């Protein structure tokens, strides 16, 4: 088994008000107190400050779901890495498939955001993954390798060892369909091999790779037991207190 510390991150997406976030995290704290895993909640921008306050004194870290790559400027509605760091954010999700699909995120902007995240001391959770059509066409390996390489252009080996890469098959997000543990392990292995090709075995062994795609309380342990899967990027189940606590402690 891997010695990498598992990281379980709940992506709340556009859910929970600040008061709801505070109540949830306060309730979650005692449930994950004995977890050996790193536990992260990626909350909406409006809930970050209250979530950080609620998480004090616990092992729970707070992440943002996105960020802009510029430090400041005329980017109405955007949030910079400096703003996130100042609030105490530790992680930021970059390149989630919903950002790519609905908001025009590209491999180029993902790379810019990864650079910006490291520049502000934030740890990026970099999302990659294929659609059902791409999987059916046999393009999974080629596409995922390309997305990983594109995201890491200009990133140093030391930086990549601190990054998290999340494999999120688009066809398994919010659909109730889940990749089998073997399918998930295969692609996470491809991701690690790609990092090895770029940076060498030492850094490929250090980078943590999550699976994200309808992770649930009843399938998490099997998924996380695979050699190259170091935790999960959890969507809907992260909004359910008992379910997320089960996932975070398995």
Q: What is the pLDDT along the chain (250 residues), one digit of tens a residue?
A: 458 999 999 999 999 999 999 999 999 999 999 999 999 999 999 999 999 999 999 999 999 999 999 999 999 999 999 999 999 999 999 999 999 999 999 999 999 999 999 999 999 999 999 998 899 999 999 999 999 999 999 999 999 999 999 999 998 877 777 789 999 999 999 999 999 999 999 999 999 999 998 899 999 999 999 999 999 999 999 999 999 999 999 9
Sequence ranges of the domains in the chain: 12-17+63-231
Q: Which CATH superfamily is domain 12-17+63-231 in?
A: Aldolase class I (3.20.20.70)
How high is the pLDDT of residue 123?
Answer: 98
The 10 Å Cβ neighbour count of residue 17 is: 12
Cα separation, 134 vs 51, whole angstroms? 37
Q: How many C-beta neighbours within 10 Å does residue 138 have?
A: 8
Count of other CB atoms within 10 angstroms of residue 1: 6
Asked whether 42 and 10 are in contact (CB, 8 A), the reply is yes
**Interval 189-248: pLDDT, tens:** 999 999 999 999 999 999 999 999 889 999 999 999 999 999 999 999 999 999 999 999
b vs e for 98-110, b when ≥16 Cβ sit within 10 Å of the residue's Cβ?
A: bbbeeeebebebb
User: Among all residues, which ones are annotated catalytic?
Assistant: 96, 168
pTM metric for this prediction: 0.96
């Amino acid at each position: 088994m891997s010695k990498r510390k598992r990281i379980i991150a709940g992506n709340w997406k556009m859910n929970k008000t600040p008061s709801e976030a505070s109540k949830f995290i306060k309730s979650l704290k005692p449930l994950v107190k004995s977890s050996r895993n790193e536990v992260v909640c990626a909350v909406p921008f409006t809930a970050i400050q209250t979530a950080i306050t609620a998480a004090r004194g616990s092992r729970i870290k707070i992440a943002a779901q996105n960020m802009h790559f510029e430090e400041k400027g005329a980017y109405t509605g955007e949030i910079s890495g400096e703003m996130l760091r100042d609030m105490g954010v530790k992680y930021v999700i970059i390149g989630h498939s919903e950002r790519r699909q609905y908001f025009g995120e590209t491999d180029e902007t993902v790379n810019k955001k990864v650079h910006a995240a490291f520049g502000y001391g934030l740890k990026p959770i970099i999302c990659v993954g294929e659609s059902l059509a791409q999987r059916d066409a046999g393009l999974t390996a080629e596409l995922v390798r390309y997305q990983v390489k594109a995201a890491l252009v200009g990133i140093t080996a030391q930086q990549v060892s601190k990054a998290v890469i999340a494999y999120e098959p688009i066809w398994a997000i919010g659909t109730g369909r889940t990749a089998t543990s073997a399918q998930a392990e295969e692609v996470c292995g491809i991701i690690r091999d790609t990092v090895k090709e770029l940076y060498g075995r030492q850094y490929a062994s250090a980078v943590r790779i999550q699976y994200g795609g309808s992770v649930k309380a009843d399938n998490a342990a099997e998924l996380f037991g695979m050699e190259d899967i170091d935790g999960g990027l959890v969507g809907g189940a992260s909004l359910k207190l008992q379910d997320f606590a089960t996932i975070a402690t398995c």
